[in-house]
Structure 1
Amino acid sequence: MGESRDTRFEDCEFFATCPPGVEGLLADELRGLGVRKVRPLAGGAAFYGKPAVGLRVCLWSRLAGRVNVVVGRVDARDGEALYSGVRDLAWEDEIAVGASIAVRAHGTNDELRNTQFTALKVKDALCDRLVEARGSRPDVDAGRPDALIEVRLKGARATVSLDLSGRSLSRRSYLDASDGAEAPVAVAQAAALLAALDAAALLEKGWGLLDPAADDGILVCEAAAMLVDQAPGLVRDRWGFSGWARTDAEAWDDMLAEADNRLEAGLERVLGAERAAYAASDAPDQESVAVVGLSESSPAIARARQHLRAAGLRAVASVEAASGDAAAVERRLGAVVARAAGEGAALVVANAAPPSRDDDARAVAEQAACVAAARRAPAGSRFGFAGSGAFASRFGAAPEKRFALGVGRTEAVVEIFAVPPREPAVILVPNPAGGTELSVEVNDAGVAQFAARLRKVARERRKWAAREGVACYRLYDGDLPEYACAIDLYEGAAESEGILYAHVAEYAAPKSVDEALARARFEDVLAVVPAVLGIRPDHVFSKARVRARGGGQYRDAGGRSYVTHTSEDGLICEIDLGGYLDTGIFLDHRTTREMVGKMAAGKRFLNLFAYTGVATLHAAAGGASSTTTVDLSQTYLDWAARNMEANGFPAVLAAERDGRGAAGRRGGANRRPRHELVRADAVRWIQEARRERRQWDLIFVDPPTFSNSKAMGRRTWDVQRDHAELLIGVSRLLAKDGLAVFSCNLRAFKPDTEALVRAGVEIEDITASTIPHDFERNPRIHHCYLVRRAVSAEAGADA
């Protein structure tokens, strides 16, 4: 094959990746770095140049996620063609001697359907080529390879590349192990937003920058790095091009030296020579720094300052505690532009929280803070936000520039404005702590009617809850049609004692209601709730609630978990206010659970479709001799186990007990623990328990309205269609004089009494006595029945 040649000065084809929507900005950035032949493509930009060009992009690009160099394109119609094409590539000119490798494959076609097989074929071809060229195989290191080979299939062709980045360039050096997967996304969004504003040029002119929703300071770090001309990859400790044979080490050393000199010059320009020497550890002069972030969260401020410190930028940027005082914001804006070189303008920029997150009330508060700051910025300022796309309505004007950034759950909308926002609608809300009324900025002053209604009901409910010892309850349930949502209040318990939380579930607006109007109204609800109830915005959690078939299935909230505890009847209950649509405790069944607890003394208790096992908790506390808790979800069973453990009733999973998940085996009853958890499809499990002639004295049955869970196979569940068969099966598990409590949330539910009577099942409607006071406004919130076996059916019950 001949000797390896010096390839360091041959042209290469590169591809830099970026989030969707950023391709044009990335192409402009590459041209600004002196790169030629740049072509924006979906998901990135292709460019061409000497090997050193790729290294320069790795060091300086703020927008690229990864930089790959294309090794070749080969036939990939099947495994043999792929192997042959990859083996023909001159890997001895690409892989450095002694470098370890790994291969990562993406995509499939009719013949190559498994990415692991594809990667294996490429690895074998590469290694065989190097054995022939060099006489030895490279080591394979799947975790931390020196050279990572990327293979992307598109139809019958494969593009084979070498990843020069090593890991995402958005994983900046100031991030650490505690920064999760969301942090690089936030970096990419911040960098794109700043690029769309041409922030680097404006900061160089002397503009100040204020981030009124700084959170953990990522945008502030990115802006501060621009201010002092710090290369994003300057202190990065590991690169993918360390295993690339074409890497020009001399050129790379020159690039690092140039980047060091530019940073030193930037620090001196911003700080002066004396302070620049201490920039890495020096604290900022808060009255002189030109880049400032504000946050209401003390932990977020601490985290932001740590990021600035790790980036060596603590002396040139500041993250401070926010103040709702308009004059304080105006003073801060004046301070950040005080260093301006003639123009005296400011950038008001924020990577604001997107909608449909678990902390939407916090997002609304952040948006309001951004708009308030923009309103007080000096004339000629510019404003840019990445978030839900709601800023146009708040500004009252179309944005100068607007584009979507990213896809799916990471998508944000970038909006750029050159004019300040309109004056807002403001309502006054009585301060729950007393004193001066609170001013709340809203989209529509008509929300004052909602605020008055919520305040009136909250005052009555809090008195009732204190009198009855209720810690979590409903405050509002679509009382006003224009503000269609349910609002529940939770008092914290255990480690959260003394903390109040609100959970706001939005109902889907009718198709006749404009989507933008519905969103604006919900934003107003989220702005009003913390003020009226006296709850911190970050303790108000919101979800979108969309009814599906049967009225009982809802879209997954898709938020981040926020786990804490509340109490019911003195029992500690774990709740997740963010991760799921429902929190882990159905408040409308509070009275039913209390009834079950009182009935359970000395009884064998069975809980079917148990969810998080709160009914089991009541039964155990009520003195049940034993409990069996059945649910199809391991997540909910684990949750139930934690609830039981927290209250001194340790429960054992059936699979842990005997290695099986079934109802139990003959002769195994003596081995059963007092509190047993069973993962199973409750409908099928009932049949197995009947065959084994197991019996319980008290059974609680609260099935979903509809389910098509994958774990059920091809079968679906519909409570109206299937309840008779379910209750007949449940009745056969009842001991003599046993009783079942059946509840469901289908508002139009009607029991099939004829079928049940024919099967010897008696059913008694007790719904009215199970509706709690806080749900009396909607007496059809659920149905509840007592179920018994008829005396005449006792003898042949299992026939």
Structure 2
Amino acid sequence: MDKENLEFFASCLSGLESPLAEELKRLGIKRVRPLGGGVAFYCDVRRALEACLWSRLASRIMLVVGRVDARMADLLFDDVLDIPWEDVIAPGASIAVSAHGSNDELRNTRFTALKVKDAVCDRLREVRGLRPDVDTENPDAAIDVRIRDKRATVSLDLSGASLYRRAYLAPDDGAEAPLECALAAGLLAIAGWDEIAHAGASLVDPTCGDGSVVVEAASVACDLAPGLTRDRWGFFGWARFDEHVWDDLLAEADERFERGLAGAAVEGTIDDPGSARPNLDVVRFAGASTSSPAIARARGRAKRAGLRQAVSIEAFGAEGVVGLVERVGAAAARAGERSGHEAPVGFVASVLGARERSSEASAQADASAFVAAAAAAPAGSTFAEAGGAAVEARFGAPPHVRVVLGRDRVAVEALVFATPPIKATSVTVPDPAGGAEHRVEVLEPASEQFAARLFKVAKERRKWARREGVENYRVYDADLLDYAVAVDVYAGAGDAAGTAFLHVAEYAPPASVDPAKAQRRFDDVLAIAPVALGVRPDHVFAKTRRRDKGGSQYRDAGSRSYVTHIDEGGYLLEVDFSGYLDTGIFLDHRITRQLVGSKAAGKRFLNLFAYTGTATVHAAGGGAVETTTVDLSQTYLDWARRNMEANGFDGPEHSFERADVMAWITECRRKPLRYDLIFADPPTFSNSKAMGKRTWDVQRDHVELLIGASRLLTEGGEIVFSCNLRSFKPDVDALARYGVVLENITAQTIPHDFERNPRIHQCYLARRP
């Protein structure tokens, strides 16, 4: 392992992958990649220790030690034995191994853990002359093994216990307490609290429960590292742990907390620093409750966190909340005047644990669902908790908040005042699994028609998909004029197997449509779609498409990445539902890719304008003896390489070329390189800076492209050419003059789920007679 570029994985609650990735970037970690259930990243030892100390959103941080063969127990043992454990496990450190996942040969996780433990011990005995002690309860070094299909990832847990178990929790706090901390941190991250807090904002939680939200909010504002007072870490058993670096990080964190706590204070005097009830006029973070035990627990957490001078937990009913808001709001105003920022008062209310949970596992699942729903829920519902009516009466309008409805609980979150929401109505949505009907709040009564249409089409489409073995497909494509969106269903694969995703793209409305009304309709689509299709709200990804002048190149508002995998025809393909406008695969080309695969056996294949290389994967899987993948974007070329490697196509016979396609063809014609099968799916228009002064226009430039590509064909070779310009007209005569013959195969390449839009693309076979 490169000492300066180690690989790590930070796990987190589902729905927090993107906020966690942003948190790691703020810590100075540059190579960050969100995945399902966590974030992969690369950094040196110091940054890794810093992430353990400062991350509020990660559950655990794992050092990836190696990936090994898990087809058989003996192969697993041999590969683990070959890992240089002397560079991973500190001398004298005790170890323990835990295993997760299984396959046909390794079905028992205890057996898997035992084989790995034996391999580690044998390696260390061979190198050091002494086997490490095994301590299954409190090991110095905890080794984690996760099997997926025929491979296993072996990691060292640098965290030890979960990072969600904050130091301010009491020893007798139950198993759900760390999840409450995670929920609070996630809720605040989703709401952008870090930026708001450092502008001098105050926060009031009128239904604070055990105080997790208030304490986490104050911790952020006061720059308190979550792991500052933690006394046991998994990296203590890491061979590369540097005690001097760790001491420096702790000293820096101490100084930052001192400065942060001083900066969070407002002008005034606390009557008695040792009192359980600070003066509210000088407190920026407050919670209210009617439960004496809850108040005691919340105050205890604030005290153990070292935040009692900034946090107050009080006994208030509905009317008392207004006084609490006003007093803390005044403190925020004074802090804002001093800092030069406008300092709003934020409200946060959340009901956590509104029902009895049977196990820590179910609590974890509920927590993930809560965070996911909070991330996806649109603003615009009225604050319905006890203090809401009183706040509305005092300030003339309700706070603008999010209401998250879970299966067995209601959770309410809010931050910062805004305009009163539009009064909502509700529509009936059938349950896709045949259960009881759902009532979904919407902003437009006409959205009931959209709900009915979506459910009807989805029912037919599911039957078709099962019959045809299709897992990723379009279920709705602007079927109703007023609801101009495309809704695509994806089925996760690999680590995401069994998980459904929705990708919702809004086509920008014409100027004649009221933008506010269009936004309300789109919000209704996002509320209805997950219910009608049975998909978790955190797995719904929404984007807006806007046409640029002169073509169908689109702009997107931009978002954080959400990377996972899907299966198409037995191939594992990477998709990003959130980082780009498109996901990394064009579903309307499903049949086209199958066509490429069926023609590729024994042939040399060339993919031009390759995008993420999905056609190359099909060609390699179809038996191509060589593949060449060409694209101007290094990002997409790397993506294509990952797609190929994920399917075992990583040999020297598969090459990847970053180049302007037209220039590359010109250069290639001077060489003896020739191909039996070429796939070209160019964009409609491109003015990429990497092309210099040139631009690309498929209508203008397709003749030059096809003539040039045809000169790279072997005798009897052919080109599969497609484009998505609806008005495209091939210049058959010009091509014929250069010996290129086109056959229009568009009709046979349009899948059933795109039949409503037969001009979604055009497809041709090009040959030289």
Q: After the TM superposition, which residues 304-453 of structure 1 pair with which residues of structure 2 at under 5 Å, given as runs?
A: 312=307, 337=317, 340=320, 349=347, 365-367=377-379, 370-371=381-382, 373=384, 377-381=388-392, 391=400, 415-416=417-418, 423-453=423-453
Cα deviation for residue 424 of structure 1 reads 2.3
Q: Does 1:187 align with 2:194?
A: yes
Alignment-mate amino acid for residue 680 of structure 1:
A
What amino acid sits opposite 2:390 in the alignment? A
TM-aligned CA deviation for residue 285 of structure 1: 6.8
Q: Residue in 2 aligned with 1:208?
A: 206
Aligned to 1:93: none
**Displacement of 1:182:** 7.4
Cα pair 1:360 1:541 within 8 Å, conserved: no
| Matched residue type, 1:704 | P
The SS at the match of 2:565 is: strand
Distance in 1 of aligned mates of 2:716 and 2:617: 23
* Aligned twin of 1:540: 540
Equivalent residue in structure 1 for 2:270, among 253, 262, 285 = 262
Give deviations 1:276-320, integer Å, cap 9, x for gaps.
xxx9xxxx977448999xxxxxxxxxxxx99997565799799xx
Q: Deviations over 1:533-579 (max 9, x none)?
A: 11111110011111113442111341000000001001000000010
Q: How does 1:736-747 map to 2 (within 5 A)?
A: 736-747=715-726
SS class of match (2:452): helix
Distance between the aligned counterparts of 1:350 and 1:522, measured in 2? 26
Pick from 703, 706, 719 the counterpart of residue 685 of structure 2. Answer: 706
The corresponding residue for 1:677 is 656
Give the SS at the match of 1:735: strand
**Preserved contact between residue 700 and residue 741 of structure 1 (Cα < 8 Å):** yes
Give 1:435 deviation, angstroms. Answer: 3.2
Shift of 1:265: 3.8
C-alpha contact 2:562 2:577 (8 A) present in aligned 1 = yes
- Aligned equivalents of 1:343 and 1:184: distance in 2? 25
Cα 1:309–1:466 shift into 2, 3 Å: farther
Tell me the secondary structure at the aligned position of residue 656 of structure 2. Answer: strand
**1:787 aligns to what?**
766
CA distance in 2, matches of 1:208, 1:678: 59
Deviations 1:113-140 (A, max 9, x none): xxxxxxxxxxxxxxxxxxxxxxxxxxxx
Change (3 A) 1:413 1:285: closer
Structure 2 residues not aligned, in runs of 5+: 1-166, 169-180, 224-250, 281-285, 327-344, 351-370, 404-413
TM-score of the superposed pair, with normalisation by structure 2: 0.57
Q: Does the 8 Å contact 2:602/2:624 carry over to 1? A: yes
1:422-459 Cα distance to aligned partner (Å, 9 max, x none)? 75211121223443322211111210110111111111
- Looking at structure 2, the residues matched to 500 and 336 of structure 1 have their Cα atoms a distance apart, in angstroms, of 43
1:660-682 CA-to-partner distances (Å, cap 9, x unmatched) read xxxxxxxxxxxxx2111111111
Going from structure 1 to structure 2, the CA distance change for 1:688 and 1:255 (only over 3 Å counts) comes to closer
Give deviations 1:398-438, integer Å, cap 9, x for gaps: xxxxxxxxxxxxxx996446xx7675211121223443322
Looking at structure 2, the residues matched to 271 and 474 of structure 1 have their Cα atoms a distance apart, in angstroms, of 58
Secondary structure at the residue paired with 2:488?
strand
Deviation (angstroms), 1:696: 0.3
Using the TM superposition, give the Cα deviation of residue 725 of structure 1 relative to its aligned residue in structure 2, in angstroms: 0.4
The number of residues matched between the two structures is 504
Distance in 2 (alpha carbons) for counterparts of 1:718 and 1:518? 31
**1-structure distance, mates of 2:303, 2:734:** 70
What is the aligned partner in structure 2 of residue 495 from structure 1? 495
User: CA contact under 8 A between 1:720 and 1:750: conserved in structure 2?
Assistant: yes
- Code of the aligned partner of 2:195: A
Secondary structure, counterpart of 1:720 in structure 2? helix
Compared CA separation, residues 684 and 383, structure 1 to 2 (3 A) = farther
The amino acid across from 1:379 in the alignment is A
1:109 maps to none
User: Would you say the 8 A contact 2:474–2:753 is kept in 1?
Assistant: yes
1:238 to 229, 252, 255: 255
Which amino acid counterpart does residue 451 of structure 1 have in structure 2?
A: A
The DSSP-based 3-state class of the residue aligned with 1:269 is coil
- Taking structure 1 as reference, are residues 361 and 392 closer, same or farther at Cα in structure 2, changes over 3 Å only? closer
Q: Would the alpha carbon gap of residues 393 and 508 (structure 1) be closer, same or farther in structure 2, given more than 3 Å must change?
A: farther
Please give the alpha-carbon distance, in whole angstroms, between the structure 1 residues aligned to 2:747 and 2:428: 39
Matched, 1:686 2:697: no
Are residues 223 and 650 of structure 1, via their aligned partners in 2, closer, same or farther at CA, if it must alter by over 3 Å? closer
Residues 487, 503 of structure 1: 8 Å contact kept: yes
Residue 531 of structure 1 and its aligned partner are, at CA, apart by 1.1
Instruction: Indicate conservation of the 8 Å contact 2:379/2:401, yes or no.
Output: no
Which of 732, 739, 747 aligns to 1:753? It is 732
- Deviation track 1:734-753 (CA, whole Å, cap 9, x = no partner) reads 00000100000001000011
C-alpha distance in 2 between matches for 1:255 and 1:730:
65
Q: Aligned with 2:555: secondary structure?
A: coil
- Compute the displacement of 1:222 (Å): 7.0
* 8 Å contact kept, 2:489–2:503: yes
**Alpha-carbon distance in 2 for matches of 1:583, 1:309:** 45
CA contact (8 A) 2:485 2:505 kept: yes
Letter in 1 for 2:698: V
CA distance in 1, matches of 2:261, 2:527: 53
**Bigger CA radius of gyration:** 1
Displacement of 1:460: 0.9
Contact kept, 8 Å, 2:383 with 2:399, in 1: the verdict is no
The corresponding residue for 2:552 is 552
Alignment of 1:12-91 (within 5 A): none
Q: Is the 8 A contact 1:364 1:523 kept in 2?
A: no
Amino acid in the other structure paired with 2:254: D
Give the equivalent residue in structure 2 for 1:129: none
Change (3 A) 1:682 1:493: same
Residue of structure 1 equivalent to 2:473: 473
Q: 1:308, 1:317 within 8 Å by CA — same for their partners in 2?
A: no
Match of 1:764 among 743, 762, 768: 743
User: What whole-Å deviation, never above 9, does each CA across 1:246-301 have from its counterpart, x for those lacking one?
Assistant: xxxxxx999999999839648611799xxxxxx9xxxx977448999xxxxxxxxx
- CA change 1:223–1:528 in 2 (3 A) is farther
Q: Distance in 2 between matches of 1:596 and 1:602?
A: 12
Question: Partner residue of 2:129?
Answer: none
Percent same amino acid at aligned positions? 52
CA distance in 2 between counterparts of 1:286 and 1:390 reads: 28
Hey, what does 2:627 align to over in structure 1? 627
* CA spacing shift, 1:645–1:538, aligned 2, 3 Å: same
Secondary structure of the residue aligned to 1:523 is: helix
Please state how far the C-alpha of 1:371 moved relative to its aligned partner.
2.5
| Residues 290 and 339, structure 1, Cα contact 8 Å, conserved in 2 | no
Deviations 1:346-369 (A, max 9, x none): 9982599xxxxxx9985562525x
CA contact (8 A) 1:472 1:587 kept: yes
Q: Distance in 1 between matches of 2:702 and 2:393?
A: 61
Secondary structure of the equivalent of 1:693? coil
Matched position secondary structure for 2:629: strand
Distance 1:557 1:644, change over 3 A: farther
**Residue 727 (str. 1) matches residue 744 (str. 2):** no
Which structure 1 segments of 5+ residues have no match? 1-172, 226-233, 243-251, 273-278, 293-304, 319-333, 353-358, 395-411, 652-672, 791-799
Equivalent position amino acid for 2:638 in 1: D
